[in-house]
């Protein structure tokens, strides 16, 4: 494969991956080579190569005689991922409360302002992408403050499956508002250096996300297994 071909394939891979993780292509969505080729204005070869790579990462599945679909996780998958994430996020928030500084407090407040502004402008897919981006910044900053590299690495191993689940969770405007309020409460506890409360609120936040994800799983078309 030439450098140019690698570059095209890489760009296609990044674009389709971004569209999956942002929720443009929901779990269960049929990814058709022809449609992707026309949309991205490339031949089918880089599309095919990109889909193979995404399959290796577990973001899409190949169904014999049917085609490639965005992976749809099962209820058990969701349970396992969120149970694990709740423990990691709880500890991360507790450690963040231990290490929070005046500068970190200001960054948290700025994040809240941006989240509130983005929610007020919640009018479509672009808003969802911005909300997801800010959500990631919020959680990343907590783990940055926590200062535990092993903990952060464990959290990042869940990035792809959690993002797949989350792609179904932003379809509900009420849930977006709830997430903002939960983030506010977590920040309040961290700034107050209340480690116990920070852990409890972070864990509760993840448990609520879990319940939302389970509900949204059943709103998706197709079979429950998604493979």
Domain containing residue 91: CATH number? 1.20.120.530
Say how many domains are in the chain.
2
In a domain, residue 123? The reply is yes
Regarding whether 107 and 23 lie in a shared domain, the answer is no
In a domain, residue 34? The reply is yes
Regarding whether 94 and 28 lie in a shared domain, the answer is no
Regarding whether 90 and 63 lie in a shared domain, the answer is no
In a domain, residue 17? The reply is yes
Regarding whether 115 and 186 lie in a shared domain, the answer is yes
pLDDT tens by residue, 156-193: 888 878 777 776 655 566 788 899 999 999 999 999 99
Regarding whether 81 and 193 lie in a shared domain, the answer is yes
Its pTM surpasses 0.95: no
In a domain, residue 223? The reply is no
Which residues have C-beta within 8 Å of that of residue 134, sequence separation ≥ 6? 111, 114, 115, 118
CA distance linking residue 192 with residue 187, whole number of Å = 8
Regarding whether 193 and 89 lie in a shared domain, the answer is yes
CA quadruple 113, 143, 170, 179: dihedral positive or negative? negative
Regarding whether 133 and 106 lie in a shared domain, the answer is yes
Q: What is the span of the domain harbouring residue 9?
A: 3-70
**Could you tell me the two tokens for 15?**
């674009």
pLDDT tens by residue, 21-48: 877 888 889 999 999 999 999 999 999 9
In a domain, residue 224? The reply is no
In a domain, residue 226? The reply is no
Q: Which of 167, 149, 162 is nearest to 86 (CA)?
A: 162
pLDDT band at 213 (very low <50, low <70, confident <90, very high): confident
In a domain, residue 21? The reply is yes
> Which of the listed residues 43, 70, 97 is the one where a domain comes to its end?
70
Domain containing residue 63: CATH number? 1.10.10.10
pLDDT tens by residue, 64-101: 999 999 988 888 988 999 999 999 999 999 999 999 99
- pLDDT for 1 equals 46
Regarding whether 115 and 79 lie in a shared domain, the answer is yes
- pLDDT for 168 equals 60
Pair 68, 27: CB distance under 8 Å: no
Regarding whether 81 and 47 lie in a shared domain, the answer is no
CA quadruple 172, 141, 199, 189: dihedral positive or negative? negative
> Which of the listed residues 70, 89, 120 is the one where a domain comes to its end?
70
> Which of the listed residues 70, 99, 126 is the one where a domain comes to its end?
70
In a domain, residue 54? The reply is yes
Regarding whether 103 and 22 lie in a shared domain, the answer is no
Which residues have C-beta within 8 Å of that of residue 199, sequence separation ≥ 6? 90, 91, 93, 94
């Amino acid at each position: 494969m030439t450098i140019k071909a690698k570059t095209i394939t890489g760009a296609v891979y990044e674009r389709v991956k971004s569209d999956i993780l942002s929720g443009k292509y929901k779990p269960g969505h049929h990814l058709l080579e022809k449609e992707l080729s026309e949309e991205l204005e490339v031949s089918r070869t880089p599309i095919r190569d990109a889909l193979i790579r995404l399959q290796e990462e577990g973001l899409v599945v190949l169904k014999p005689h049917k085609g490639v679909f965005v992976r749809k996780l099962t209820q058990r998958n969701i349970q396992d991922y969120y149970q694990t994430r709740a423990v990691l996020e709880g500890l991360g928030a507790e450690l963040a409360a231990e290490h929070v500084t005046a500068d970190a407090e200001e960054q948290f407040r700025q994040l809240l302002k941006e989240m509130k502004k983005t929610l007020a402008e919640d009018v479509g897919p672009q808003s969802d992408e911005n909300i997801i981006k800010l959500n990631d910044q919020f959680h990343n900053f907590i783990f940055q403050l926590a200062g535990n590299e092993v903990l952060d690495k464990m959290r990042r191993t869940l990035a792809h499956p959690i993002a797949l689940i989350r792609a179904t969770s932003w379809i509900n405007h009420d849930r977006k508002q709830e997430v903002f309020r939960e983030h506010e409460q977590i920040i309040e506890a961290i700034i107050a250096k209340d480690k116990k409360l920070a852990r409890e609120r972070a864990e509760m936040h993840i448990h609520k996300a879990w319940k939302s994800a389970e509900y949204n799983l059943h709103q998706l078309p197709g079979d429950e297994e998604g493979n």
